[in-house]
Amino acid sequence: MSQGVWTIAEQRDGAFRKITYEIVSEGRRLADALGQELTVVVLGSNIKEKAAELGHYGADKIMVAEDPRLDPCTTDAYTAVISGLVKEGDPSILLLGASVDGKDIAARLSACLDAGMAQDCTEFSIEDGKLVVIRPIYAGKAYAKLTFANSSPQIATARPNVMSINEPDTSRSAEIIDASFTLDDSMIKTKVVEVIKDESGKIDLTEADKIVSGGRGMKGPDEFGILEELASLLGGTVGASRAAVDAGWRPQTDQVGQTGKVVSPTLYIACGISGAIQHLAGMSTSKVIVAINKDPEAPIFQKADYGVVGDLFDVVPALTEEVKKIL
């Protein structure tokens, strides 16, 4: 009989990403609701010592799979190892982060294990012993409540920055297990040839707590300087709409939306962004949304918690000065 909740940790260069702590914390809550254990699977190279800290966030067991071919992450290698471990361990629930890697691996695992899978979930619960998820549909215009029919395991990915992180309890530790797995070179069809790192030191949009985004109303790339200043004061980062990215004003890595990055910060300030449905799909789960736009009929105001009708080139500098005073 399937039992136990498993989460798949996500790390980069030996450091766990924020989504890892989120899904471990959420996994703990689900495991408690089921009266079962929480196991965290960590894959990589020379990651065992770092993996122990996940016990502070609620893991009962930490299964470590170490192999040089698991760092950096490739979907082929991760799927081969995880699917083998799942077939042997038979967990009832398998959680991953809805990151670029997590979504890819979850989809492949669903096919390999012939199991149901729900992507980009914003809420989890247990009803009648089964996992129930809430996820956005129709580009965020509605939310669906889903459960799994005869699926083992029940696979789901969690949208980053949505799940709360447990306060670390350093008195708590987890059992560390060396995972037994088979990974043949023939299983790996792809190879990472080069990793081009972002040396700017900028916070990744999917992990940012505060985002100041600009759209077509910014009029050009140089004008984004006023957004950079405000974001820096707030301890956040700058995003952009697809229109701004397509115009070449910002790199594609800054794009927020259905064809860019899905974000869920505590504060999202939209400057000169009309609010096309594709953009709203990428930021609608933000905790507080502030819209600044000259057009009082802009769709973004329908989603905003606070709206300012005015010229962003007057409003943003004034807002920046007020933030400076408060700080």
Per residue of the chain (327 residues), what is the pLDDT tens digit? 578 999 999 999 899 999 999 999 999 999 999 999 999 999 999 999 999 999 999 999 999 999 999 999 999 999 999 999 999 999 999 999 999 999 999 999 999 999 999 999 999 999 999 999 999 998 888 999 999 988 899 999 999 999 999 999 999 999 999 999 999 999 899 888 988 877 777 888 999 999 999 999 999 999 999 999 999 999 999 999 999 999 999 999 999 999 999 999 999 999 999 999 999 999 999 999 999 999 999 999 999 999 999 999 999 999 999 999 998
CATH number, span 205-326: 3.40.50.1220
Q: Please determine whether the domains at 5-187 and 205-326 fall in the same fold group of CATH.
A: yes
Predicted TM-score of the model (pTM): 0.90
Tell me the CATH class for 5-187: alpha beta
CA–CA separation, 9 vs 58, rounded Å?
Answer: 13
Query: What are residue 66's phi and psi, to 5 degrees?
Result: -110, 130
200, 250 Cβ separation under 8 angstroms: no
Domain residue ranges in the chain = 5-187, 205-326
CB atoms within 10 A of CB 48: 15
Q: Which uninterrupted H or E stretch holds 11?
A: strand 11-12
Query: What's the pLDDT tens digit per position in 192-206?
Result: 898 887 777 788 899
37, 226 Cβ separation under 8 angstroms: no
CB atoms within 10 A of CB 22: 24
Indicate the residue type of 107.
Answer: A
User: What is residue 57's DSSP assignment?
Assistant: G
Query: What's the pLDDT tens digit per position in 292-317?
Result: 999 999 999 999 999 999 999 999 99
- Tally of CA atoms within 13 A in the half-sphere of 131 that contains its CB: 34
